[in-house]
Structure 1
Amino acid sequence: FFDPLVAFMISEPIVVAVLEGENAVENYRLLMGATKPEERKLGTIRKMFGLGYCENSVHGSDSETSAKREIAYFFTPSEIV
């Protein structure tokens, strides 16, 4: 799982964004859709753009704790508006 995921993630440029709002993590996870291709529902980002299990087109944190850690990988506090 890990090697194909890394290969995919470094194959093209990526866009990193920080979303803010009430229940942002939960709401974005619903919009993203399931990781497993067979569980993806119509209208979700992964159903529309995902190519497979690893090439699922989008990542979203699974909790506020994870979100804080992942945001710190890409942004300094002064960059978050």
Structure 2
Amino acid sequence: MTEEQTLMLIKPDGVKNGHIGDVISRIEHRNYEITAMKMVQATESQLREHYAALVDKPFFPKTLKYMQSGPIIALIIKGTNVIAAIREMSGATVPSQARSGTLRGDFAREWPDGTIRNLVHTSDSPESAQREIGIWF
């Protein structure tokens, strides 16, 4: 097995609600290495590149507004099978479907207007990780 790296974004709701430490602690408790971290205010250009497959979807304007509603934390995380492990640690994309004990199950929620505040983004493949790291670092 070889080590790989992945990108995680702690989204504006995670930053605003004080969950940066919770996320980092869970990564460190699993003995993964955070090799880079920075706080950024996402630009529309970065978000359009990051979510390129979604820009034509009717919900994209809400996603854009949400992701620009405050700062985000971008992390590069390194370790063996890190992509699968970080995705499992994060939980299901829809918070109400995320198991208790996952980041989204414990800290994320859905709103009455249908907006999902799901705390984190995680890369889904080595190719996505490299592309996304290039956008944020």
Q: Normalised by the size of structure 2, how large is the TM-score?
A: 0.52
**Structure 1: any 5+ residue segments left out of the alignment?**
76-81
| Structure 2 residue identity aligned to 1:66 | S
Residue of structure 1 in register with 2:93 after alignment: 35
Once the two structures are superposed, residues 32-73 of structure 1 have per-residue CA deviations (whole angstroms, 9 ceiling, x without a partner) of 000123321001111112122631010000101000000001
Structure with greater strand percent: 2
- Provide the C-alpha distance between the structure 1 equivalents of 2:116 and 2:128, rounded to a whole number of angstroms: 19
Q: Secondary structure at the match of 1:18?
A: strand
**Structure 2: any 5+ residue segments left out of the alignment?**
1-58
Identity value in percent:
39
Residue of structure 1 in register with 2:71 after alignment: 13
How many residue pairs get aligned? The number is 75
**Which fold has the larger relative contact order, with Cα–Cα distance below 8 Å and residues 6 or more apart in sequence?**
2
Instruction: Please point out which of 120, 124, 130 is paired with 1:62.
Output: 124
Q: Normalised by the size of structure 1, how large is the TM-score?
A: 0.85
Q: Secondary structure at the match of 2:78?
A: coil
